[in-house]
Chain A
Amino acid sequence: MSNSHSANEELHGHHGLPYLAHHFETPIQQFDAAKLGMWLFLAQELLFFSGLFVAYLVFRMWYPEAWSVCSHELDWKMGTANTLVLLFSSLTAVLAVRSAQLGERKATGNYILVTIACAFIFLVVKYFEYQHKFHAGLLPGHYFAPVAGHTISSVFPPGSAAYFSVYFMATGVHGLHVIIGIGVLFWIYLRNAKGEFTKDFWTPVDLVALYWHLVDLIWIYLFPFLYLID
């Protein structure tokens, strides 16, 4: 790892910085290119999720009664708890980036670990929610077969099956993003532990945190849309 004193002169030859790929002139150019790529990916993610949100809106407008009844089958306390867990994990993710910017390797690693722990808590809560829905027969599409005594409502208006299709698809795809998030966060944790990041180079920490914030961003909408219908 070259120190920052020699980095300055080595820059003129565009070589010598272990983290600078040979096809980039300067670390700034490399940083901007990486961020641009990540934002393109995130824009694509938003458009990908927008399909689910459109399905949500169309069916909600078509079946308002079903949306209201089915929303009450969800446990808003678990939903609120999970929202707070995800928001906290976003805080620790951004603090990991901040520590990396300051070159504090140990703090960076700890913040990443807390973020990963929050992701696991989120999935465990989600597991219990899914388990309840499986027992109650609140399943998507033609698998929808409510079991008496396990549900809050005894009458399910037309469109209820569509609600649970949207519910499982949206939370399922979001949950998949959480699982992938755990993977990439752990990968960054290992790279940080190996000492790959310094005060001058922390781009990967930044990019993975951006991905994690997007997962949070999607949930910020999913939570009130699915759990909190009047």
Chain B
Amino acid sequence: MSDKHDDHGHAEGLVHVHVHPLSTYVGIFAALVTLTLITVGLSRIHLGDYNFFIAVVVATIKAGLVATYFMHLKDDNRFNVLLFVGSLIFMGVFFIYTMNDTQHRGQWDESYGTKVYAPTGEEAPGRGQYQEIKLEGGHGGAAEHH
């Protein structure tokens, strides 16, 4: 989106951007420092699972400030914003699909001889680590450990 460069009536084709005042950047920096101290302060308080959630939210606000102002995405070509946001979306896909696997794996329960979900104790699908597999046909007795 090159239109913004011509807004100020300068020579055609030359790059001209709006130069933000020093105070804008110093203000953003002050906000980032404040948020950092808030994260450190909140981590000292025991809030259980909320601690991690808060840490992610505060870090994301900080990252948003850096990307929007320091990295000039506010004034940048919208396509560059799309690239940035797009990579974040694909990171999300990476996270969700991986966690969907790793968080739903059963653990072998020796005493019951099955796989169970550790958090609930329910039986989990899939063959157990020590389950014997009898192969049909062949010479019999062949067992494999998976």
Contacts and interface: CB of A to CB of B under 8 A. Distances in A.
Contact of A54 (B67, B69, B95): B95
B48 A230 contact: yes
A201 B46 contact: no
A28 B15 contact: yes
Interface residues of A, number: 61
A184 interface: no
Given A27-B13, A36-B80, A230-B43, A87 B91 contact: no
Given A11-B13, A58-B99, A91 B25 contact: yes
Main secondary structure of the interface of A (DSSP, over half): helix
Main secondary structure of the interface of B (DSSP, over half): helix
Interface stretch (A41-49, A135-143, A159-167, A174-182): A41-49
A62 interface: yes
B133 interface: no
Interface in B55-81: 55-56, 58-59, 62-63, 66-67, 69-72, 76-77, 79-80
Given A32-B2, A210-B71, A46 B14 contact: no
Interface stretch (B29-37, B108-116, B123-131): B29-37
A83 B36 contact: yes
Q: Which of A8, A27, A94, A220 has the most CB of B within 10 A?
A: A220
A84 interface: yes
Interface in B14-57: 14-15, 17, 19-20, 22, 25-26, 28-29, 32-33, 36, 39-40, 43, 46-48, 51-52, 55-56
B71 A213 contact: yes
Interface string A87-106: 11011011101100110000
Interface of B: 2, 5, 11-15, 17, 19-20, 22, 25-26, 28-29, 32-33, 36, 39-40, 43, 46-48, 51-52, 55-56, 58-59, 62-63, 66-67, 69-72, 76-77, 79-80, 83-84, 86-88, 90-91, 94-95, 98-99, 102-103
Q: Which of A28, A83, A201, A214 has the most CB of B within 10 A?
A: A28
Interface in A84-128: 84, 87-88, 90-91, 93-95, 97-98, 101-102
Interface in A14-31: 25-29, 31
Nearest to A230: B51
